[in-house]
Structure 1
């Protein structure tokens, strides 16, 4: 299993001791705020997909820059604690070989909403959590992808993500 900067509800709260980082319901922004977020996201998506072929890039940017896409993301985050509980009900991380890449970079939206010290604590907790998760399974490996942010791990460090997949594949063959 390759966990790309994964979320693990029970592990999250264990490794993030600051109450402000605990997982709890988040309100879905109203239509005006969603439009503003969409507008402010243009540069992010243009940068994220800059190296992609034009036809694919343009389609991805167009889809990401809709209010519906922003609303879908907000809805996913709004009930994160509920789907986290469902993950917990599934039991511990499977005892299979795993690579746990961590993206220590901070997404731009978080920089607007959280103090720097809290962002640092969140990143340190994420690293502790992924390290512990990797140590909990046979042949688990933790990797910190220095140039990656959570929301863009696959486009920030594509070679490292592919390398993790191939390394894991070689282990299980």
Structure 2
């Protein structure tokens, strides 16, 4: 067994899940519990500000899946079912019973969708933050379609000192300013660490296979759904794409999220003009917590 980095952050703990060490942090009391599923390359503590607000009115869980953050290393990428089996085992190991409000961010949105397909009685509501969705390409111009850029065949970028330094600058540039100083420093160090810097690229390498998993699954049950999207362009995004491409991508995503929420009787799309795809939970934790509270108010809690 190997754990990435030295020790633990100042919050949370390791728990053994099927012989693997996963980092998690629980706050608050009440049911349904809110469970955060991080985006590709994200860390559970990235969601701390929203987590703390939600813990004021119910149980909230943040965690690092295997191969990310402070959890044990794993071979990446992984299937949706592998990740969800691990999450389900973790929640049972720490005695957090269903039903859950799943908060899926980006790639975590796909994990949340698949969990809901497989275990519909365990999901009370869905809160999706800019979720990855199998219909993504239908709303994008040809040059931005994921199918036109086969991530499975892409080589990992060389992990140079310049790349590490550039990543650190991005995380020091303001998106984490609202975090407590100690946590902020630990997050920056972990995000810019050689063992975790390319995690997001590795996790998303099998995106087409993940879409196939979702398409083969059952339709999502009719549960309350809120999608939060961000229309700002963050400096961290311009490292990889031009502003023109990002504007096209945002416009396509807005159409996708409207379609997703319009297709369900209990869907709602909320747009945040002051947050980007990556920074929603960091700069607008109030919007995340408000959406979680609103979903809880719509849920009739039943014992499973």
- Superposition TM-score tier, normalisation by shorter sequence: 0.7 to 0.9
Q: Secondary structure at the match of 1:48?
A: coil
Give CA deviations for 1:144-171 in whole Å, capped at 9, x if unaligned.
Answer: 1111111121002111111111111111
| TM-score (norm. length: structure 2) | 0.52
1:43-58 paired onto structure 2 within 5 Å = 43-46=169-172, 47-58=174-185
Structure 2: 5+ residue stretches without partners: 1-125
Deviation at 1:109, TM superposition (A): 4.5
Map of 1:134 onto structure 2? 261
Map of 1:144 onto structure 2? 271
The separation in 2 between residues aligned to 1:81 and 1:95, in whole angstroms, is: 25
Q: Which has the higher helix share?
A: 1
Q: Which has the higher strand share?
A: 2
Deviation at 1:52, TM superposition (A): 1.3
Tell me the number of residue pairs that the alignment of Structure 1 and Structure 2 aligns: 170
Bigger-Rg structure (1/2): 2
RMSD: 1.9
- Greater relative contact order structure (CA < 8 Å, 6+ sep): 1
Contact 1:50–1:57 at 8 Å: present in 2 too?
yes
Map of 2:165 onto structure 1? 39
| TM-score (norm. length: structure 1) | 0.87
Contact 1:37–1:70 at 8 Å: present in 2 too?
no
Map of 1:166 onto structure 2? 293
Q: Secondary structure at the match of 2:273?
A: coil
Q: Secondary structure at the match of 1:100?
A: strand
Deviates more, 1:18-27 or 1:162-171: 18-27
Deviation at 1:98, TM superposition (A): 0.3
1:57-68 paired onto structure 2 within 5 Å = 57-68=184-195
The separation in 2 between residues aligned to 1:21 and 1:71, in whole angstroms, is: 21
The separation in 2 between residues aligned to 1:5 and 1:151, in whole angstroms, is: 9
